[in-house]
Amino acid sequence: MRIVLIGPPGAGKGTQSVLLAEKLQVPHLSTGEILRAACAEQTDIGHQVGEFMQQGQLVPDGIVQKIVFKELSSLACKSGYILDGFPRTVPQAREFDAWLERSGSSLSLVLQFCVTEEILLKRLADRGRADDDRDVIHKRMQQYEDLTRPLLEYYQNHGVLHTIHGGEGSAEDVFAKIEKIVDNAPA
Q: Can you tell me which of 140, 164, 174, 177 binds ligand AMP, judged by CB under 6 A? A: 140
The yes or no reply on residue 53 touching ligand AMP (CB under 6 A) is yes
Q: Which residues contact 67 (CB under 8 A, 6 or more apart)?
A: 31, 34, 35, 45
Q: Which of 21, 35, 39, 164 binds ligand AMP (CB under 6 A)?
A: 35
Whichever of 15 and 57 has its CB closer to ligand AMP, that residue is: 57
| Window 3-22: residues binding ligand AMP (CB under 6 A) | 9
Closer residue to ligand AMP (CB): 35 or 161: 35
By CB under 6 A, tell whether 64 contacts ligand AMP: yes
Between the alpha carbon of residue 87 and those of residues 6, 61, 68, 170, the distances in Å are 8, 9, 9, 26
Within 10 Å of residue 92's Cβ, how many Cβ atoms? Answer: 20
SS3 at position 186: coil
Among 140, 143, 161, 164, which residue's Cα sits nearest to residue 152? 161
Choice between 35 and 115, CB closer to ligand AMP: 35
Q: What is the pattern of x (binds ligand AMP, CB under 6 A) and - over residues 99-138?
A: ----------------------------------------
166 near ligand AMP (CB under 6 A)? no
> Among 176, 44, 186, 49, which Cα is nearest to 107's?
186
| CA distance to 27, 47, 67, 68, 81, per residue, from 74 (Å) | 11, 25, 11, 10, 11
> Contact residues for ligand AMP (CB under 6 A)?
9, 31-32, 35, 52-53, 56-59, 64, 85-86, 88, 92, 140
